[in-house]
A and B are shown apart, each in its own frame.
Chain A
Amino acid sequence: MADLAAGPGLLEQIRLVSWLRWRILRNSLRKKSRRLDLLGLAISGLFSTIFVAGLTVAFFAGTKSLIENHHEQFLGLLFLALLVWWQLFPILLAGFTPQFAFRSLLRFPLKLSAFYLIGMAYGLADSAALAALIWMIAMLAATLIAQPAAAPVMLVACVLFAALNVTVERLLGAWVEKLLAKRRSREVFFSIFILAMISVQFLNPIMQKYGRGLVTVVRTWLPYLWLFPSSFAGDAVARSVQHQWAAAALKLGALAVYVALFTVLLRMRYAQLYSGEELSETAAPARKEKRAAISPSDENEMLGFLRPQVLAVFRKELLYLRRNTFLFFGLIFPPMLVLFFSVQFAGAHPTAFKNGVSPDLFFPGMMAYLVLILIAPAYNNFAYEGKGIQTYFTSPTGFREILVAKNLVTALLLFCEIAFCVVLVGWRAGLPSTPVLFATLAGMIFSIVGQLTIANWSSLNFPRRMEFGKMQGQRNSGMSVLIMFGVQILFGGVSACILFSGRWTGSPWLPAEVFSVLAVAALAGYFSSLDTFTDLAEKKKEVLIDTLCR
């Protein structure tokens, strides 16, 4: 029988896990693309430092001012801000940052207590937690200066509050992990996230209109916060500032009860994980299903003039769009933002300016914006194919058909979104003059068709795999992004010059005429490029397969 070495101590285990995380990060940087990510990380790190430093000053000044001006009863609000930050920020980040499979440590001979402590250590090493700890130190420093006698209570309150937060954060993290383990629930989570992000855009206009009333509502609800742990922490310090030591001790005791309660809950959760709770990406075990009936509406008779191969890819693309919750919900963004811009900058009563932008400027601007954001995925057209890309190459279908089908879906989406937005802009800001309207429409055909041609080339040359229901790392390749920006600046610049040429020359129909000619040229260019791209796909097939099947 093989010898079994004595297990490593807890500190050694923590050291080993830290080493493992470091090696994973270091090895991932060997790739060139990851090195670019490191640059991004450095830039975001700089901004994060400025953000944290700014708020450190704010927490310091806030605490000092509240204590010195005898408003210490509001200290609870600072703790509430810390609580919200500590708990919400990691959850929001969960979808965007690579998640270390903490549970995978369970295959090693760890005791439950070691697993628990490593989990807590992870929680404290979190960026949100580190920022919150710095802010709490700032609050402690401010108390030391403003009212040194209250500093010990502030210290105990901060320690208990930190313990509570890290426990709750790990507990929420464990639940979120369970939630995100299932594809469907992950997609629903991201959909809610996207909708929340869209809603945030409207905060400013809403605040401008109903801001005063909102303050009253907040004041009404404020007393109900007394049961929150943040209030106990704040009140403990406030009472110590007022030299009511017994009351301060009572509040700290209540905070300690919170800590104990969540510790028990977290330990129970970790015990479930420790005992081998299954979190699986796949669906539940087989259940009998009724066979999928194919309805007559699937016949696509309307598109019967298209080749069967084009129809097959067209239908597959629509199914993929419907099932890609992230992309599908992303379609809500453009009309919502057009609505937002029209409320802010156009119409009879814009919220940002006294006088709105004229429809002759606002309408082409909005349409250009729509093309800008809606055409972006076309620059990485094969992103979601995965291993299915092999089917394109093994089937007797040229890439001409595949590209046409994909571009048709993009064009259909653009048409629907633009048509809806035209109605929206017409309602909110009014339609432009007839020459500008026609010029804009012809300009859009020129821009869309021209960009689709270049996007096809970019998709074949610089593919990047993306995954359904994930947000982390889901972006086009660097080159593809550069090409897209370059092309859009070029098309935008040329289009703006043509549009303004009507004013400069005094002939309002000139832009429409020029754009019509350009649109015809773009269409000719598009169709003549298809065979070239079929050959290009053959040349690039190894890159495509290698990148997308990885």
Chain B
Amino acid sequence: MPDIAIATEKLTRRFGALTAVDGIDLQVESGQFFGFLGPNGAGKSTTIKMLTGLLAPSSGRMSLLGLDFSQHPIEVKRQIGVVPEGMGLFERLNAPEYLEFVGRMYGLDKATTRKRSDELLEFMQLADRSKTMIADYSHGMQKKLALAAAVIHGPRILFLDEPFEGVDALAAGALKELLARMTERGVTIFLTSHVLEIVERLCSHVAIIKKGQLVAQGSMDQLRAGVPSIEGRTLTLEDIFLSVVGQGADRSQLEELSWLT
């Protein structure tokens, strides 16, 4: 029996008449690098917000590391790390102050917090900007700091909403290395990204959401098996995604914009 890190059962979220997430059943095993995909407005961020306690579900259940979220919110939060949409930074602190704040909020003692904070700032190449206020950081630097804050307490599950957006190629490479090593050590990573190449390279398992409903879930091979193949080459995640979600603007619509070309 595999060890399940994240499980949802008929997880639903409604905003008035709009059902943003419609009864999804997710199963993510411990140690998996899990990619969660979908077009704009499909319900990715709403799902991740529910899984991290930022949004209450309208109905359904979710359990993380075997604990029911609604029953044990504090115990669950202690074991997860989050880079939320918008990053959730206190922008009028500097990086060491922010990391110290987060470390202490997760119950780390002062010495451990400072040691880890120093190491993380060095790794994220932020150590030489430690006096600068977060508000004055570039978007990429803020992203790196948010990631540092998400891992400072050594979480068992890491939720990342578009973690590589705005991060330069050098830092992105180092981050991918870090995340890969974390999964080797048994950490579960739940990631959303619009960059399908990144998801394909990093993630062992993928789920695709469309209009609030899960339309595909499984390993890359399982997903390939579920869609028509293209002769002469292996299906990429982009092929699978387009096949499952459907094409965007069709050619006839493009032809209407002929004055642009």
Contact A292 B94 (CB under 8 A): yes
Smallest Cβ distance from B4 to chain A, in angstroms?
A: 21
A542 CB within 8 Å of chain B: yes
| A282 near B128: Cβ-Cβ < 8 Å | no
Interchain CB contact under 8 A, B128 and A291: yes
Q: Which residue of A lies closest to B259 (CB)?
A: A2
Whether B165 is near chain A, meaning CB under 8 Å from some CB there, is no
Known A309-B107, A323-B92: A291·B86 in contact at CB below 8 Å: no
Q: Which of B56, B87, B138, B261 contacts A541 (CB 8 A)?
A: B56
Interface membership of B224, Cβ < 8 A: no
B170 located at the interface, meaning its Cβ lies under 8 Å from any Cβ of chain A in the complex: no
How many A-B pairs have beta carbons closer than 8 Å: the answer is: 119
Q: In the bound complex, do residue B54 and residue A545 qualify as a contact, i.e. CB atoms below 8 Å apart? A: yes
Check A183 against B135 for contact (C-beta < 8 Å): yes
The answer to the question of B77 belonging to the interface, with a C-beta cut-off of 8 Å to chain A, is yes
CB 8 Å contact bits of B152-173 with A (1 = contact, 0 = none):
0000000000000000000000
A320-352 vs B, CB cutoff 8 Å, 1 = contact: the mask equals: 100110000000000000000000000000000
How many interface residues does chain B have, given as a range? 35 or more
CB distance from B258 to the nearest CB of A (A): 10
Interface string of A383-401 (1 = CB under 8 A from B): 0111111110111111000
Determine whether A468 belongs to the interface, using a CB cutoff of 8 Å to chain B: yes
- The complex places the Cα of A123 from the Cα of B132 at a distance, in Å, of 37
Stretch at the interface among A311-319, A359-367, A505-513: A311-319
Q: How far is the CB of B46 from chain A (nearest CB, A)?
A: 11
Give the residue name and chain of the A residue nearest to B87 (CB): A387
Return the chain A residue nearest B114 by Cβ: A294
Encoded as 1 (CB less than 8 Å from any B CB) or 0, chain A from 259 to 297 comes to: 000000000000000000000001100101111101000
Q: Is the interface of A mostly helix, strand, loop or mixed?
A: helix
Does A299 count as interface, using CB distance less than 8 angstroms? Answer: yes
Q: Are B88 and A316 in contact (CB under 8 A)?
A: no
B86 touches A549 (CB 8 A): yes
Closest CB of chain B to A253's CB: distance in Å?
50
By the criterion CB–CB under 8 Å, are A541 and B77 in contact? no
| Known contacts A2-B259, A299-B110, A394-B84: A541-B54 contact under CB 8 Å | yes
| Bound complex: CA A316 to CA B114 (Å) | 16
Q: Shortest distance in angstroms between B108's beta carbon and chain A's nearest beta carbon?
A: 8
Which residue from chain A places its CB closest to the CB of B81 in the assembled complex?
A: A394
CA distance A292 to B136 in the complex (A): 16
Choice from A2, A291, A385, A394 contacting B82 with Cβ under 8 Å:
A394
Interface segment among B98-106, B180-188, B197-205, B234-242: the answer is B98-106
Task: Given the known inter-chain contacts A319-B93, A541-B56, please indicate yes or no for A396 contacting B88, CB distance below 8 A.
Answer: no
Of B75, B88, B114, B136, the contact of A282 (CB 8 Å cutoff):
B136
- When distances are taken between beta carbons in the complex, the residues of chain B under 8 Å from A395 are 77, 102, 105-106
Task: State in angstroms the CA–CA spacing of A549 and B88 once bound together.
Answer: 8
Checking A292, A323, A388, A542 against B55 with a beta-carbon cut-off of 8 angstroms, the contacting residue is A542
Q: Which of B75, B78, B90, B261 is close to A391, meaning CB atoms less than 8 Å apart?
A: B90
* Contact assessment for B86 and A319 in the assembled complex, using a CB-CB cutoff below 8 Å: no
Say whether A292 contacts B96, CB under 8 Å. Answer: yes
Task: Give the distance in Å from the alpha carbon of A286 to the alpha carbon of B260 in the complex.
Answer: 40
Q: Please indicate the chain B residues that have their CB under 8 angstroms from the CB of A525 in the complex.
A: none
In the complex, the chain B residue whose C-beta lies closest to that of A549 is B86
Given A292-B96, A384-B92: A396 and B101 interface contact (C-beta under 8 Å): no
Asked if B53 is at the interface of the complex by the 8 Å CB criterion, the answer is yes
Q: Which residues of B contact A12 (CB under 8 A)?
A: none
Give which listed residue, A3, A388, A390, A396, contacts B75 with CB less than 8 A.
A396
A493 within 8 A of B: no
Question: Is A308 interfacial (CB-CB < 8 Å)?
Answer: yes
Given known A-B contacts A324-B92, A390-B88, A468-B92, A292 and B54 have beta carbons under 8 A apart = no
B9 at the interface (CB under 8 A from A): no
> Which of A291, A319, A390 makes the CB contact (< 8 A) with B97?
A319
Question: Are B107 and A308 touching (Cβ within 8 A)?
Answer: yes
Encode contact with A along B93-127: 1 for CB under 8 Å, 0 otherwise. Answer: 11011001110111111100010000000000001
Residues from chain A with Cβ under 8 Å of B97 in the complex: 316, 319
Query: In the complex, what residue of chain B is closest to A384 when comparing beta carbons?
Result: B92
Report the bound CA distance from A403 to B87 in whole Å: 22
User: Which residue of chain B is the closest to A283 with respect to CB atoms?
Assistant: B136
* A549 neighbours in B (Cβ, 8 Å): 86
> Measured between alpha carbons, how far is A395 from B93 in the docked complex, in Å?
17
CA distance A16 to B107 in the complex (A): 57
Q: Could you say which residues of chain B place their CB within 8 Å of the CB of A283?
A: 132, 136
Q: Is A316 in contact with B93, judged by CB distance below 8 angstroms?
A: yes
Q: Is the CB of B88 within 8 A of A394?
A: yes
CA A283 to CA B92, docked complex, whole Å: 13
Q: How far is the CA of A292 from the CA of B84 in the complex (A)?
A: 27
Residues B56-96 near A (CB distance < 8 A): 56, 73-75, 77-78, 80, 82, 84, 86-94, 96
Please give, as numbers and ranges, the residues of chain B lying within 8 Å of A313 by CB-CB distance: 101, 105
A391 to B93, Cβ gap below 8 A?
no
A531 to chain B, nearest CB (A): 13
**Residues from chain A with Cβ under 8 Å of B86 in the complex:** 387, 390, 549
- Given A299-B110, A308-B107, A541-B54, residue A388 in contact with residue B89 (CB < 8 A): yes
- Which residues of the other chain, A, contact B127 by a CB distance below 8 angstroms? 291
- Cβ of B133 < 8 Å from any Cβ of A? yes
A283–B136 Cα distance when bound, in Å, is 6
Whether B129 sits at the interface, judged by CB under 8 Å, is: yes
Q: Taking the nearest CB of chain A, how far is it from the CB of B259, in angstroms?
A: 6
Partner among B53, B75, B136 whose Cβ is within 8 Å of the Cβ of A393: B53
Q: Do A391 and B102 have beta carbons less than 8 Å apart?
A: yes
**What distance in Å separates the Cβ of B124 from its nearest Cβ neighbour in chain A?**
14
Which of B54, B78, B114 counts the most A-chain CB atoms under 10 A from its CB? B54
- What is the minimal beta-carbon distance from B256 to any residue of chain A, in angstroms? 14
> Chain B residue with minimal CB distance to A545?
B54
Q: How many angstroms from the CA of A388 to the CA of B88 in the assembled complex?
A: 4
B159, closest chain A residue (CB): A394
Closest to B75 in A: A396
**B107 to A289, Cβ gap below 8 A?**
no
Beyond A299-B110, A308-B107, A541-B54, whether A316 also contacts B90 by CB under 8 A is yes
| A387 engages B89 (CB within 8 Å) | yes
**Chain B residues near A542 (CB-CB < 8 A):** 55-56
Given contacts A308-B107, A312-B101, A394-B77, contact A292 B130 (CB under 8 A): yes
Could you show 13 A-B contacts with beta carbons less than 8 Å apart? A286-B129, A290-B131, A294-B114, A299-B110, A308-B109, A309-B105, A316-B97, A319-B97, A391-B90, A391-B105, A393-B53, A395-B105, A541-B55
Q: Which 3 A-B pairs have the closest CB atoms?
A: A390-B88, A312-B104, A388-B90
- Residues on A lying within 8 angstroms of B by beta carbon are 2-3, 183, 282-283, 286, 288-292, 294, 299, 308-309, 311-313, 315-316, 319-320, 323-324, 384-391, 393-398, 468, 538, 541-542, 545, 549
Further contacts, 15 of them, CB under 8 A, given A294-B100, A390-B84: A3-B259, A286-B128, A289-B129, A294-B114, A299-B110, A308-B107, A313-B101, A316-B101, A387-B86, A387-B88, A388-B89, A393-B53, A394-B54, A396-B78, A397-B74
